[in-house]
Structure 1
């Protein structure tokens, strides 16, 4: 599959499919999360978190959302790529867009998500601090990463 070059702005009617992309991506990459955790976060993503960020997405050749990025106050709050679309440069395209067009220069990453850490490090992000728990107080340490100034 080839990703289209256009970056779209998400609207509320896109939230259900964005949540499907989120869930498929999390199931493929966040092996440290339990089924209970995924079911806990899913309605929060759909009903709260998506509304709190500026969302952009790209489509695959079939016109489906292949990946999305959400930013707020200079920070990448979420970046997820559908497993069927991984390895096609979608994450890189979305991150580059977030940095260039949306002025994002920081991201929080689950410490157990080594692929994501490597992805952001390859892009130039460096770990500046660490939290023992995630934003909901769950025992998933978070690395706070930033692009050097």
Structure 2
């Protein structure tokens, strides 16, 4: 399983990343309404993706199966296509973030129970909570840190 750092974000790559994001969100973020997903889509594609260092893992068809976005001190995003989940992509990304990039913090939607359980399983601990997300929407965010 090879992690590839994206050096250039073409429209094709942005579109492929957005498909992974949307499919993953639809399968895990059941607390979001359709209008929430539509609100976030252009922000994710046009603002959030360019603001982070993006890493991908491709499947056997050379399509992006999972991606991770890192800032200077946080694992900002980690999304896996629903049909590719359970193959260890998340674990590989978290290990890479911690051991190669010295990034120990991540935020997770409190209502995304699968992601929350995943990060706890990976050794993270809750260090804080906000009632709303960074957009001011009423989706509680848990702040986690790996020891």
TM-score, normalised to structure 1, is 0.94
Residue 48 of structure 1 aligns with which residue?
Answer: 47
- Report the Cα distance in structure 1 between the residues aligned to 2:96 and 2:17, rounded to whole angstroms: 18
Unaligned stretches of 5+ residues in structure 2:
none
Residue 73 of structure 1 aligns with which residue?
Answer: 72
Unaligned stretches of 5+ residues in structure 1:
none
Deviation for aligned residue 1:33: 0.3
**Which deviates further from its counterpart, 19-28 or 8-17?**
8-17
Residue 25 of structure 1 aligns with which residue?
Answer: 24
1:12 aligned onto 2:9: yes
Deviation for aligned residue 1:99: 1.4
Deviation for aligned residue 1:88: 0.5
CA offsets 1:29-65 (integer angstroms, 9 cap, x no match): 0000000000000000000000111110100111100
User: How many residues get paired?
Assistant: 144
- For residues 86-125 of structure 1, what are the structure 2 equivalents within 5 Å? 86-125=85-124
CA offsets 1:95-139 (integer angstroms, 9 cap, x no match): 111111221100000000111111001111100010000000000
TM-score, normalised to structure 2, is 0.95
